[in-house]
Amino acid sequence: MPTEQSDTPNTSRQSRIAPSLERMAEWPWWLIVAILIALFIVLQITTNQRMSVIFGAIAAGIGVTIRVTLTAYFAAVLIGLIVGFARVSSNKVILNVASFYVEVVRGVPILVLLMYIAFVAVPIVAEMLGVRTRDFPNELRVILGLAIAYGAFESEIFRAGIQSIEKGQMEAARAIGMSYFQAMRYIILPQAIRRVLPALGNDFVAMLKDSSLVSVLGVEDITQITKLYAASTFLFFQSYSILAFIYLSMTILLSRLVRSLETRLSAHR
């Protein structure tokens, strides 16, 4: 609305080409620029020998990035579901334990949490179990760290989703004779999940981006490989451009997927 208002006095005074200029001002220029840059990078990768070597080297880590993202995300959703339930529990002990976890984890930077779990928590647990710390591969540790960090966020999403369902739904289910868990499973959760799907989808994309943090622990995802490659070849500009390009392609693709899933699931609402 504000743009319309400021534009109106101009158009009235200007010549016939003004309307088309005005329409051009509304174009998504950022998208055009982004597409041009992407095309340029694709062209470079396909035609330029050196660029295609760099791309090949970095792309070798895509498998790790995807694996870390997927496993950590699904573990986080599982943790989030359980903790989300706990956060709406009437049992005060369960409620407090869950709240402690959520508040602590949300208040610590993910990077710090990741290092804490990898270097502090895992060794302690390993000692308790009587196994050697180095039997825990780094990839497992970072997956655990990401899952625990994101589990807190997902639990908040589930909690909000469950609490957003009208009280009458639970009452009707209970009055019919369903147990609390049957009511949750068949009545509350299906509605809650549909409502929080956009938020869950956003966090999937966010997880993909935050999976780059695992490079700090030496896990060879695309970020780590780029770091090492750039440092040894001094091709910083090319390497990091390709890295950013790969992340961007993946996140844009994912966002599209998530959005089409949402539309399909909310068809009858």
Partner 1 sequence: MQTPIIKLTNLHKSFNRLHVLKGINLDIHEREVICVIGRSGSGKSTMLRCINFLEEPSEGEIEIGDLKIPAGGKGKAHQGLVHQARLLTGMVFQEFNLFPHYTVLENVMRPPIIVKGMNPARALEIAEMNLDRVGMLFKKDEYPSRISGGQKQRVAIARALAMEPRVMLFDEPTSALDPELIGEVLNVMKKLAMDGMTMIVVTHEMGFAREVADRVLVMADGELIEDGKPEQIFNAPKDPRTEALIVRYRTGGN
Binding mask 72-111 for partner 1 (x = CB under 8 A): ----------------------------------------
CA distance 39 to 124: 49
- Name which of 130 and 177 has its Cβ closer to partner 1: 177
Only segment of 10-18, 134-142, 175-183, 210-218 that touches partner 1 (CB under 8 A): 175-183
With contacts defined by CB under 8 A, name the span among 21-29, 31-39, 127-135, 165-173 that binds partner 1: 165-173
Residue 263 makes contact with partner 1 by CB under 8 A: no
- Chain centroid to Cα 114, Å, comes to 16
Residue 258 burial by Cβ neighbours in a 10 Å radius (0-12, 13-18, 19+):
middle
Contacts of 124 (CB under 8 A, 6+ apart): none
177 binds partner 1 (CB under 8 A): yes
Calculate helix-pair angle for 222-233, 49-59, nearest 10 degrees. 140
179 near partner 1 (CB under 8 A): yes
The binder of partner 1 chosen from 168, 234, 263, 264 (CB under 8 A): 168
Give DSSP secondary structure letters for 150-216: HHHHHHHHHHHHHHHS-HHHHHHHHHHT--HHHIIIIIIHHHHHHHHHHHHHHHHHHHHHHGGGGGG
- Among residues 57, 178, 228, 258, the one that binds partner 1 under rule CB under 8 A: 178
Question: Footprint of partner 1 on this chain (CB under 8 A)?
Answer: 166, 168-169, 171-179, 182, 186-187, 190-191, 194, 268-269
